[in-house]
Chains A and B, each alone.
Chain A
Amino acid sequence: NAGVTQTPKFQVLKTGQSMTLQCAQDMNHNSMYWYRQDPGMGLRLIYYSASEGTTDKGEVPNGYNVSRLNKREFSLRLESAAPSQTSVYFCASSERGGPGLEPQHFGDGTRLSIL
């Protein structure tokens, strides 16, 4: 019963490098989300996908791209990493978005450092 699985768990990048964070869920959820968590800032939504084939910007989308590869997988890409993107990234999923939202289930997070 894996739930939401994120890879990798830790990563160190140099400024300007690119990277894709992977997320997969096995709960047959329709909606998936990417958040970043910085000290004292709570969880801020980067992008989300309400259903397979759709993606939308969240609160802090600049510098990121996403791909909803299929119903299970939702990846986050940093094309040219910057030190300001050093953070802990969480992927989450829920059965559906919109009114009557079901609870979001989070992965274990990816700790990303950009030097």
Chain B
Amino acid sequence: GENVEQHPSTLSVQEGDSAVIKCTYSDSASNYFPWYKQELGKRPQLIIDIRSNVGEKKDQRIAVTLNKTAKHFSLHITETQPEDSAVYFCAALTGANSKLTFGKGITLSVRP
């Protein structure tokens, strides 16, 4: 089955700096890659997603890039703010079984 790994497990940045969170996946048939943000005690919320026929997608300060050859995708957050502090989960969907496989999450801390 699919295996999704996130690197690093924790990340601390200064407010205003950029943050990059990388995920790797194992199944070359995976075709959908969402990113979820989870604040402490809250539900995971989708912040951006990308499909396998697209290399990059942007939404204001957030972007996701996909490298199908290397089987990795990354979340880029520019001009970080304290409210960006949260756990971020990446996931990959394999079309054959329609199940999302999540990474273990990365804790992002933005220092004021």
Contacts and interface: CB of A to CB of B under 8 A. Distances in A.
B45 A42 contact: no
A45 B43 contact: no
Contacts of A106: 43-45
A1 B92 CA distance: 28
A interface majority secondary structure: loop
B46 A45 contact: no
Contacts of B99: 45, 48, 58, 97
Contacts, number: 50
Contacts of A108: 42-43
Q: Pick the most buried of B32, B43, B93, B103: most chain A CB atoms within 10 A of its CB.
A: B43
A108 B80 CA distance: 26
A97 B89 contact: no
A101 to B, nearest CB: 5
A54 to B, nearest CB: 11
Q: Pick the most buried of A42, A44, A59: most chain B CB atoms within 10 A of its CB.
A: A42
B43 A99 contact: no
B102 A42 contact: yes
Interface in B15-54: 31-32, 34, 42-46, 49
A99 B34 CA distance: 14
A40 interface: yes
A99 B98 CA distance: 7
Interface of A: 31, 40-45, 48, 50, 58-59, 90, 97-101, 103-109
Query: Which 7 A-B pairs have CB atoms at the shortest separation, nearest pair first?
Result: A97-B98, A99-B95, A42-B104, A43-B102, A106-B43, A98-B98, A42-B102
Interface of B: 31-32, 34, 42-46, 49, 89, 91, 93, 95, 98-105
13 contacts: A31-B98, A40-B105, A42-B105, A43-B89, A48-B98, A50-B98, A90-B43, A101-B98, A101-B100, A104-B100, A106-B44, A106-B45, A107-B43
